[in-house]
């Protein structure tokens, strides 16, 4: 299994540009998440999905959009990039089995700079 794959690893955007961060998992996990991590800080939840076709906002959703058309893919869209969106973005997935939840598997991250 490749686990959770994120692309790209690095990206520089100009203010006002848009881009999509890709995230794919091959573990058949039902839950998927997007977090951002600012330097020296913890993880802030942007959006999450509990299954294909279902998405919901986290604590910092403004300026982002997501979709979940398949179990495997959970892309994050940035519209009109702003310097405040400079951060490292992590995609993660997890699953529930036998009524119990299990910990996250994180992707390797996307380091985004908006200039």
Partner 1 sequence: GENVEQHPSTLSVQEGDSAVIKCTYSDSASNYFPWYKQELGKRPQLIIDIRSNVGEKKDQRIAVTLNKTAKHFSLHITETQPEDSAVYFCAASLSGGSYIPTFGRGTSLIVHP
Q: Is 104 in the site for partner 1 (CB under 8 A)?
A: yes
Nearest residue (CB) to partner 1, 2 versus 100: 100
Nearest residue (CB) to partner 1, 14 versus 98: 98
Report in angstroms how near the CB of residue 60 gets to partner 1 at its nearest: 13
* x-or-dash string of contact with partner 1, 49-68, rule CB under 8 A: -x-----x-x----------
Nearest residue (CB) to partner 1, 71 versus 109: 109
Identify which of 2, 63, 59, 4 has the alpha carbon closest to the alpha carbon of residue 31: 4
Q: Is 29 in the site for partner 1 (CB under 8 A)?
A: no
Q: Among 31, 34, 64, 74, which residue interacts with partner 1 (rule: CB under 8 A)? A: 31
Give the integer Cα–Cα distance in Å for 13 and 57.
24
Angle, vertex CA 82, rays to CA 94 and CA 11, nearest 5: 60
Give the integer Cα–Cα distance in Å for 107 and 8.
11
| 114 close to 85: Cβ distance less than 8 angstroms | yes
User: Could you list the residues that contact partner 1 (CB under 8 A)?
Assistant: 31, 41-43, 45, 48, 50, 56, 58, 90, 94, 96, 99-109
């Amino acid at each position: 299994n490749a686990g959770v794959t994120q692309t790209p690893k690095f990206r520089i955007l100009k203010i006002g540009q848009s881009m999509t961060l890709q995230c794919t998992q091959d573990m058949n996990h039902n839950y998927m998440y997007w977090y951002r991590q600012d330097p020296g800080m913890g993880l802030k939840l942007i959006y999450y999905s509990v299954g294909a076709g279902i998405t919901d906002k986290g604590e910092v959703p403004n300026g982002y959009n997501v979709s979940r058309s398949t179990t495997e893919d959970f892309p994050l869209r940035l519209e009109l990039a702003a310097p405040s969106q400079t951060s490292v973005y992590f995609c993660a997935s997890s699953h529930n089995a036998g009524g119990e939840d299990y910990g996250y598997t994180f992707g390797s991250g996307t380091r985004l700079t908006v200039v």
